[in-house]
A and B are shown apart, each in its own frame.
Chain A
């Protein structure tokens, strides 16, 4: 059974790999680590919590909630 840190790392790599090309909902990442590592849902949720509290991933809202790498959006610069 993978540790929460390993699950978090697996999620982060997935988001990083497709950054700018594809957005991930938290549910997408949970399904990804279930498939890749056999992680359970509670572990996956703890991993998301760790990633967002560390600031490695941030939540965004564009017609639904997504998890992304942190960036400064255009609107905020104005």
Chain B
């Protein structure tokens, strides 16, 4: 453990949870140059009530505009070890599967060229290496690239696309998210490494509406697996769930835990007759019934994805959730996901041309209006794109009718 005196930070080591302070102190044994000074700076920040990091600047590796985030301290004389403390983002394997050999390689690289502190995985989904000096970047990059790794997105680029582990382990996956995101990542490599957008752009794919990667809340373009046909019912397993319902020791209640939790009330359960009926036309794909009875209920067989756009965390404007753009799109491997790629190209073309500086695509949609945006992307309006009925009565349709009449000649 590091012997740097940090009385204020040490208070964060108490309690039953793991502490980043302990972890940094442990790592400081291997890389004292960085971590002792980082601990000192943190202690100073806690005492000053202000951060001392400066962020951004020129650092990077030759030819790439993304993947390295410059970070400096504003008190370099007091903490020279972290005068430069850049972050490096590396594209992880899709689905986040690693061999121990790969992990040891990454840790070895970062002990050699950086602080040894890593974050698997940040909200970006990337492998995050925290803290290195400018003159180590090219050397580290040469070794990483030679071993087949590549830098992730940062700045105004397409960020590293991320996916849940999809069909590799999950019964509910409606699309092969790992294959899709691997394919898309290779397709958008230039946009990932050479930022050319008004601001950042994130693509995330979840295999089902459980949305384990929070694509609907965290990505500018969310691909969420969904089905069009009926929920499949396994009759034998359903019988077991009714047996559980009838056994008070099991604490499983088909009515209160399943039917009454359905947001669209489309499930009817008759515990005496042991029947379960789903009005699939009214199902809103919330996944609750499938999650609580995973052996008896399964997603349908006619699967594809819903495409949503515009989610973001609050930075310039407030937080936004995604808006449905395409209610159902087949994710066709044999066609190399061409429909999705066409939509992506159209979106980027419009946003690059019309997006304002530091304006996320969701803010662009808000500014120009969803109807106009759909027109530009040549998408048909659909009731699924509407979040709530309009509450403003002061809408005049005359001009729309005039336009239609003009168009009809």
Tell me the A residues contacting B by CB distance below 8 Å: 25-27, 30, 41, 45, 48-49, 52-53, 55, 58-65, 67-68, 70-71, 73, 75-76, 78
Q: Would you call B358 and A63 a contact (CB within 8 A)?
A: yes
Q: What are 24 A-B contacts defined by CB distance under 8 Å?
A: A25-B156, A25-B196, A25-B198, A26-B195, A27-B196, A27-B197, A27-B352, A41-B352, A45-B190, A52-B65, A52-B194, A53-B62, A55-B62, A59-B65, A59-B194, A64-B199, A65-B195, A68-B58, A73-B57, A75-B54, A75-B72, A76-B57, A76-B59, A76-B84
Known: A25-B357, A49-B63, A59-B155. A73 touches B58 (CB 8 A): yes
Tell me which of A58, A64, A70 contacts B155 (CB under 8 A).
A64
Tell me the B residues contacting A by CB distance below 8 Å: 54, 56-60, 62-66, 69-70, 72, 76, 83-84, 134, 154-157, 190, 194-199, 349, 352, 357-358
Q: Would you call A48 and B196 a contact (CB within 8 A)?
A: yes
Q: Would you call B65 and A65 a contact (CB within 8 A)?
A: yes
Residue among B58, B70, B84, B190 with the most chain A CB within 10 A?
B58
Q: Would you call B58 and A49 a contact (CB within 8 A)?
A: no
Extra inter-chain contacts (15) besides given A26-B194, A52-B64, A64-B358, CB under 8 Å? A26-B156, A27-B196, A27-B197, A27-B198, A52-B62, A55-B62, A59-B65, A59-B66, A59-B195, A61-B154, A64-B357, A75-B54, A75-B70, A76-B58, A78-B83
CB B18 to nearest CB in A, in angstroms, measures: 32
Number of A-B contacts (CB under 8 A): 87
CB A62 to nearest CB in B, in angstroms, measures: 5
CB nearest to A53 among chain B residues:
B63
| A11 to B358 CA separation, bound complex (whole angstroms) | 22
Residue among B84, B195, B197, B358 with the most chain A CB within 10 A?
B195
Known: A63-B358, A76-B134. A58 touches B194 (CB 8 A): no
Closest 5 A/B residue pairs (Cβ) = A59-B65, A65-B195, A65-B155, A65-B156, A26-B196
CB B75 to nearest CB in A, in angstroms, measures: 10
Main SS of the interface on chain A? mixed
| A13 to B285 CA separation, bound complex (whole angstroms) | 55
In the complex, chain A residues whose CB is within 8 Å of the CB of B59 = 76
CB B202 to nearest CB in A, in angstroms, measures: 15
| A58 to B68 CA separation, bound complex (whole angstroms) | 13
Tell me which of A25, A63, A73, A78 contacts B76 (CB under 8 A).
A78
In the complex, chain A residues whose CB is within 8 Å of the CB of B197 = 27
Known: A61-B154, A63-B358. A48 touches B58 (CB 8 A): no
CB nearest to B357 among chain A residues:
A64
Q: Would you call B194 and A61 a contact (CB within 8 A)?
A: no
